[in-house]
Amino acid sequence: MFHILLYFWAILPISLWVWASQEHFNTNINDEQLRFEKYSFNRFELKHYRGKVKDLFHFAHDNYLHKGYPYDELRPIACIPKTRNFEDPDDEITNDVLGNFSVTLVDSLTTLAVMNDRPKFAEMIKLIEDTFPNKFDIDSTVQVFETTIRIVGGLISAHLYATDPSKKVYLGEEYKGSLLQLAKDMADRLLPSYLTLTGLPVPRINLRTKFDPITIELVSENNAAAMASPIFEFTMLSYLTLDSKYADVTRYAMNKTWALRSDLQLLSMSFDPQTGQCYSQISGVGASIDSFYEYALKSALLFNDEGLLKIWQDAYNALNTNSRADWFYTNVQSTTGQLQTLWIDSLSAFFPGLQVLAGDVEDAILKHMMALKLWNTFGGLPERWEFQNMAAFEVSRGSNINDLRSLVPLEWYPLRPEFVESTYFLYRATRDPFYLNVGVTILESIETKFKHKCGFGGFQDVTTGEPQDRMETFILSETLKYLYLLFDVDNELHHTRDNVLFSTEAHPMWLTPEVINNYEHNKYFNDTVYKRHLKACHKRDRGSAFNENKRSFVGGKLRRFAKSLFTTDQKPKEDVNQHPKPEFKKELTIDTSSVHEQMCFSMPVGNKDKPEWLHSHILSHFDRLFEIDRRYNSSLIRPEHMKNEVPMEIKRGFYEKWAHDKFSHSRPMPSTESLEIVLDLPGECQLLRLPDGSIHRNTLGGRTKIRLEQIEPGKMDVYGRILNPELFISARRKDLFKSTCDKADKLYTPTLLYRATVLNGIYLPVGANLTINQKTVFKTQSEENTFRNLFGQNSYNQLMLDCIPIINLLMQ
């Protein structure tokens, strides 16, 4: 069913196998003391790093057990517990995650399973059983989403490990199913949050009293990720308990959340769960919306669900059309697709890993590179970074401005896992040692910068290097787990035939054929409260604004042609409800620097006689490796504590071993300019990608965004090539359908042409065309007339914009 989607460990053929590098070790010492040459990345070296990660985990885990348990977290510097704010129940920043339910103990359990530490795994399960004799009967108001992914997800995943005979930590008869019962108890305490008029969950609930002590301010706004994402853990719970209420209630909420999207298929970030009213019309891939995309795809795969797959495909296509930039996804206005904010956040670093799962490895490499450059700059990923900031120009010129926070309005980095996660997925897909080197760099930073007396903490401020005295549970559950798996090539997860998928909290989940068959034949739904609830929700949907065919309250329809040009320095619209107008805007300037300027650093390379296959593809064939450094040099300003750090991709030992001098070079910066054309038409976007990278379209339905490069002889184009004057000699500017261009020819230089380089976020390689079937593209004569008024067409069947041919945009 999902033949176009591949699991991450089998997406690409293995382009190189790093284990073939020669091991260097002293034969006079025993096997446990085997030595290796750093960056060889042979099995001995990877085993060494894997052991280091395991030791670091146990260091922090043991300290938590002795100095933090039974409270939720341990402060790594002060070595005292970090607890919820018992004095102020409305302290949502602290209390959303810290529910006084030993969250570090539960959330870290599956990391022990992944590390095959069966004795410790069994010991911690017994401790959890002893800790919760009355299950989760706790007077704590907590966030539903965070509690679901950390507590419910952690318990379900650990239960799978404990009951699966194929897993090394399988406990057999000594385990009686307590974790599943605890997961069910917690889910039952969270599920009433869905009992709203819309079926969308409120963000918080009290585990004992439900809503009694909760103020309206704590439940009046919820984000898209929190409203939709519990579908993954709750559906898993239904499969394991046979009670389908968990799956049905959360699936309804997922569908309802998706129904709130705009006509551009873009989902806003936050809503009132009681009414569906939109609070923030920003759309992107970062905080507040990230897990929506993640769980649409992962739930489709794990539960074999065509409907969820369609949601993912439509959402991803909309993102690529409206939000995808070269190196990251921008935050756009959901009803217009126009740039809304000038920042990206650290949570968006997870998205390359999701792209790998979806098979889009090519773009995942680009988006991961942005996170890498942020790490090089700040030593971690700031919670929010502005890719364009006027004050940054003053900082970059060395002025007295001493406030780098203009670049990082949210300045902390709590050792989040998203960058490590994407690194892991990209390595599993490509086997490129480049990503092993990223992992080594992160590991060394954890050892030297983030390790404290009792655990690990990130930066409170990336601009100063001030340490953060907090060890969030995801450090043990995700950051160290993904780092361990990156180096553990023999881990059972990498060789299993189970359809293993990681939750957003990195808890492995899988379903066996026996479990699936049992659920399909024996599931039940006996809870009358939730049966009546869903029945009432469906009844209210008929004729309401939430109906799939009546989403007009989200934003007006954009069923018209619109032609506009956007600039990379465009400021966000102050009126978030303003729609784009069908006129030209300011041109987009890509770069006008010298065409001869190169971005590669001067570095010695390794042995010229090394085999051509024994190198990193990224170092040796990715000619845009330093483009980000150039393009965002005014915003990637290193703080003082990072002045002496060497960027991870050019560390001498790594670069010498894995860069091949025969291939390694950098693409020159273009001296051309680019613009974008946007068309909005009724129908759905349909396109066919051809083997040579060309794209064919039978229709122009939906939103079509085309990036055009304005090319002139002698300039450097976006592909790093000097444009040959011969390309311009035979250009034809006469229009086949009208005489407009006949009189205007003298106004245009024959040395100016356009070339399409990107369509709806898809990059066209050199020589690729964008072709349109003129027999099927127009549904009515009115559509064709409108199209002809915007575009001309010459005798080569090239479309023309203002009488200038677009040389690779053809009507056929």
Based on the residue annotation, tell me whether 188 is a catalytic residue of this protein. Answer: no
Structure tokens at 362: 């090519």
Q: Do 551 and 687 share a structural domain?
A: no
Crossing angle of the two packed helices 231-241 and 513-522, in degrees rounded to 10: 80
User: Residue 228 in contact with residue 258, Cβ under 8 Å?
Assistant: yes
Question: Which pLDDT band holds residue 656 (cuts at 50, 70, 90)?
Answer: very high
Q: Do 85 and 214 share a structural domain?
A: yes
Q: Do 83 and 210 share a structural domain?
A: yes
779 part of a folded domain:
yes
DSSP string over 313-352 = HHHHHHHHHHTB-SSSBPPEETTT--B--SEEEGGGGGHH
Domain final position from 519, 534, 555: 555
700 part of a folded domain:
yes
- 212 Cβ neighbours under 8 A, 6+ residues apart: 206
Question: Which pLDDT band holds residue 7 (cuts at 50, 70, 90)?
Answer: very low
Of 591, 580, 586, the C-alpha closest to 558 is: 580
Q: Do 548 and 685 share a structural domain?
A: no
Domain range for 786: 673-811
Kindly name the residue from 185, 294, 326, 383 that is annotated as catalytic.
383
Residue 176 has pLDDT above 60, yes or no: yes
Based on the residue annotation, tell me whether 784 is a catalytic residue of this protein. Answer: no
Whole-angstrom CA distances from 414 to 75, 344, 418 are 12, 16, 11
Helices (H), 450-602: 473-474, 480-487, 513-522, 528-541
pLDDT at residue 778 in the model:
82
pLDDT at residue 554 in the model:
29
547 part of a folded domain:
yes
pLDDT at residue 32 in the model:
46
pLDDT at residue 593 in the model:
31
Weakest mean pLDDT among 74-78, 455-459, 792-796: 792-796
Question: Which pLDDT band holds residue 90 (cuts at 50, 70, 90)?
Answer: confident
Based on the residue annotation, tell me whether 123 is a catalytic residue of this protein. Answer: no
Q: Is the dihedral of CA 197, 201, 205, 210 positive or negative?
A: positive
Domain final position from 522, 555, 588: 555
**Rounded distance between C-alpha atoms, residue 716 and residue 370, angstroms:** 24
Weakest mean pLDDT among 288-302, 356-370, 719-733: 719-733
Weakest mean pLDDT among 8-22, 424-438, 527-541, 660-674: 8-22
Task: Give the residue ranges of the annotated binding site for Ca(2+).
Answer: 504
Q: Is the dihedral of CA 341, 343, 349, 352 positive or negative?
A: positive
Based on the residue annotation, tell me whether 505 is a catalytic residue of this protein. Answer: no
Residue with the bigger pLDDT between 562 and 352: it is 352
**Rounded distance between C-alpha atoms, residue 614 and residue 125, angstroms:** 45
Helices (H), 501-580: 513-522, 528-541
Residue with the bigger pLDDT between 574 and 590: it is 574
**Rounded distance between C-alpha atoms, residue 338 and residue 344, angstroms:** 15
Helices (H), 553-704: 617-621, 627-631, 652-658
Helices (H), 108-149: 109-114, 118-131, 144-147
**Rounded distance between C-alpha atoms, residue 8 and residue 359, angstroms:** 8
Q: What is the DSSP letter of 727?
A: G
- 600 Cβ neighbours under 8 A, 6+ residues apart: 625, 626, 664, 665, 666
Structure tokens at 79: 């070595």
pLDDT at residue 611 in the model:
60
- 525 Cβ neighbours under 8 A, 6+ residues apart: 243, 244, 245, 248, 531
Give the H or E element holding residue 162. helix 153-163
Task: Give the residue ranges of the annotated binding site.
Answer: 504
pLDDT at residue 212 in the model:
87
Weakest mean pLDDT among 240-244, 363-367, 702-706, 805-809: 702-706
Q: What is the pLDDT of residues 739-762, one digit of tens each?
A: 878 766 556 667 899 999 999 999
Residue 16 has pLDDT above 50, yes or no: no
**Rounded distance between C-alpha atoms, residue 678 and residue 692, angstroms:** 25
**Rounded distance between C-alpha atoms, residue 685 and residue 690, angstroms:** 16
**Rounded distance between C-alpha atoms, residue 149 and residue 473, angstroms:** 11
pLDDT at residue 775 in the model:
86
User: Residue 509 in contact with residue 500, Cβ under 8 Å?
Assistant: yes
Give the H or E element holding residue 678. strand 673-681
User: Residue 680 in contact with residue 558, Cβ under 8 Å?
Assistant: yes
Residue 591 has pLDDT above 50, yes or no: no
Residue with the bigger pLDDT between 79 and 610: it is 79
Other Cβ atoms less than 10 A from the Cβ of 263: the count is 18
Q: What is the pLDDT of residues 235-245, one digit of tens each?
A: 999 999 999 99
Residue 556 has pLDDT above 50, yes or no: no
pLDDT at residue 548 in the model:
52
Domain final position from 555, 590, 608: 555
Residue 285 has pLDDT above 70, yes or no: yes
Residue 233 has pLDDT above 80, yes or no: yes
Q: Do 240 and 101 share a structural domain?
A: yes
**Rounded distance between C-alpha atoms, residue 335 and residue 319, angstroms:** 12
Of 705, 708, 689, the C-alpha closest to 697 is: 689
Q: What is the pLDDT of residues 187-215, one digit of tens each?
A: 999 999 999 999 999 999 999 999 988 98
Weakest mean pLDDT among 16-25, 327-336, 440-449: 16-25
Angle at 453 between CA 450 and CA 459, to 5 degrees: 25
290 part of a folded domain:
no
Residue 398 has pLDDT above 80, yes or no: no
**Rounded distance between C-alpha atoms, residue 292 and residue 259, angstroms:** 13
Average pLDDT for residues 502-531, to the nearest whole number?
A: 98
Residue with the bigger pLDDT between 557 and 467: it is 467
Antiparallel, parallel or unpaired: β 770-772 and 804-811:
parallel
Q: What is the pLDDT of residues 234-284, one digit of tens each?
A: 999 999 999 999 999 999 999 999 999 999 999 999 999 999 999 999 999
pLDDT at residue 31 in the model:
52
192 part of a folded domain:
yes
Antiparallel, parallel or unpaired: β 81-82 and 73-74:
antiparallel
Looking up residue 73, the CATH number of its domain turns out to be 1.50.10.10
pLDDT at residue 545 in the model:
56
**Rounded distance between C-alpha atoms, residue 448 and residue 547, angstroms:** 55
pLDDT at residue 748 in the model:
65
Structure tokens at 648: 């991870």
Of 756, 749, 757, the C-alpha closest to 728 is: 749
Question: Would you mind telling me the total number of residues written for the chain in this entry?
Answer: 812
Whole-angstrom CA distances from 145 to 148, 234, 288, 344, 459 are 5, 11, 11, 22, 25
Of 407, 439, 380, the C-alpha closest to 641 is: 380
Q: What is the mean pLDDT of the chain?
A: 87
**Rounded distance between C-alpha atoms, residue 104 and residue 664, angstroms:** 45
**Rounded distance between C-alpha atoms, residue 646 and residue 480, angstroms:** 23
Q: Do 213 and 85 share a structural domain?
A: yes
Residue with the bigger pLDDT between 602 and 643: it is 643
Kindly name the residue from 72, 360, 363, 418 that is annotated as catalytic.
418
pLDDT at residue 589 in the model:
29
pLDDT at residue 25 in the model:
36
762 part of a folded domain:
yes
Provide, rounded to the nearest whole percent, the portion of the chain with pLDDT above 90.
Answer: 74
User: Residue 374 in contact with residue 385, Cβ under 8 Å?
Assistant: yes
DSSP string over 55-118 = HHHHHHHHHHHHHTTTSSEE-TTT-SEE---SS-TT-HHHHTT--SS-HHHHHTHHHHHHTT-H
Q: Do 255 and 124 share a structural domain?
A: yes
Name the percent of the chain in helix, strand, coil, to the closest 5. Answer: 40, 10, 50
Crossing angle of the two packed helices 43-67 and 433-448, in degrees rounded to 10: 30
Q: Do 680 and 537 share a structural domain?
A: no
625 part of a folded domain:
no
User: Residue 600 in contact with residue 626, Cβ under 8 Å?
Assistant: yes
Structure tokens at 311: 């949601």
pLDDT at residue 34 in the model:
57
Q: Do 242 and 99 share a structural domain?
A: yes
159 part of a folded domain:
yes
Contacts 24+ apart (CB under 8 A), 606-614: 606/656, 606/657, 606/658, 606/659, 606/660, 606/661, 608/661, 608/662, 610/660, 612/660, 612/662, 612/663, 613/16, 614/16, 614/20, 614/21
Peptide bond into 572 cis (omega under 30): no
- 551 Cβ neighbours under 8 A, 6+ residues apart: 259, 260, 261, 262, 263, 545
Residue 610 has pLDDT above 60, yes or no: no
Kindly name the residue from 45, 117, 290, 386 that is annotated as catalytic.
290
Whole-angstrom CA distances from 692 to 708, 764, 767 are 19, 9, 8
pLDDT at residue 503 in the model:
98
- Domain count for the chain, please give it: 2
Average pLDDT for residues 685-705, to the nearest whole number?
A: 89
User: Residue 736 in contact with residue 694, Cβ under 8 Å?
Assistant: no
